[in-house]
Amino acid sequence: NHVKTLIGKKVLVTAGPTIEPLDPVRYFSNYSSGKMGFALAEAAALAGAEVTLISGPVSLPTPPQVRRIDIVQAEEMKEEVLQALPQMDVIIKSAAVADYRPQKIYHQKMKKVQEELTVILEKTPDIATEVGKRKLAHQLLVGFAAETQDVETYALGKLKKKGMDLIVANNVAEPGAGFGIDTNIVTVYDQEGVVKAFPKMSKKELAVELITLIGDRLHGK
């Protein structure tokens, strides 16, 4: 029973982890399954939006009526997001972009010779911050924050620093919330503070709620 609140709107969703290679057989990444982002893409399409889903490596089917672009590294996700950005009305950043990547990628498999190994990591580009800078007046930027403590403080900090309109914060240390599982527990914030706190629910149900909330914002409600 979906209300077609996003007819004529173009929505970009990022989902999944990024993978940052170290050598041909090893990488740095995180536990994102893509479930939250894919559920959002599906809900947005059901609400009538034209949806582009930019995803890291996940094993999920593409939701119906969704254009999907697969990427591996943060750098590629950045390029695809910035290319799609000018056409978009809503940008939802549910991907868990790796914050760091190996400074040097080895082209041959690293050999097990030393007792200790130091890998130097460098920051990846912050895609949300770049989107926040380029964002046009009519575009709504919705970020996510994955925290394990002081959720509100960190979430509001990210919202302001990255120029987001809304941020969806999940305490990923809480049972029933965060990476990999089928449920989530989130609170949505804007510049003013709490917009809505959701109880534990399936990521699919939550996605429908979040898309409704985004639709309301878009229509100035």
Q: How far is the CB of 171 from ligand PMT (least distance, A)?
A: 10
DSSP string, the chain: ----TTTT-EEEEEESB--EEEETTEEE-----SHHHHHHHHHHHHTT-EEEEEE-S---PPPTTEEEEE--SHHHHHHHHHHHGGG-SEEEE--B--SEEESS--SSPPPS--SS----EEEPP-HHHHHHHH--TT-EEEEEEEESS-HHHHHHHHHHHTT-SEEEEEETTSTT-SSSSSEE-EEEEETTEEEEE--SEEHHHHHHHHHHHHHHHHTT-
Residue 1 designated active-site: no
Q: How far is the CB of 8 from ligand PMT (least distance, A)?
A: 25
Q: Does 90 bind ligand PMT (CB under 6 A)?
A: no
Task: Candidates 31-39, 60-68, 194-202, 212-220: pick the segment binding ligand PMT (CB under 6 A).
Answer: 31-39
Q: Does 56 bind ligand PMT (CB under 6 A)?
A: no
Q: How far is the CB of 25 from ligand PMT (least distance, A)?
A: 24
Q: Does 185 bind ligand PMT (CB under 6 A)?
A: no
Task: Candidates 30-38, 61-69, 105-113, 211-219: pick the segment binding ligand PMT (CB under 6 A).
Answer: 30-38
Task: Candidates 3-11, 82-90, 107-115, 119-127: pick the segment binding ligand PMT (CB under 6 A).
Answer: 119-127
203 is in an annotated binding site: no
- Please enumerate, by residue number, every residue annotated as part of a binding site: 99, 109, 144, 158, 162
Residues at the contact surface with ligand PMT, assessed by CB under 6 A? 16, 32-37, 74, 93-97, 99, 124, 126-128, 143-146, 158, 170, 172, 178-180, 203
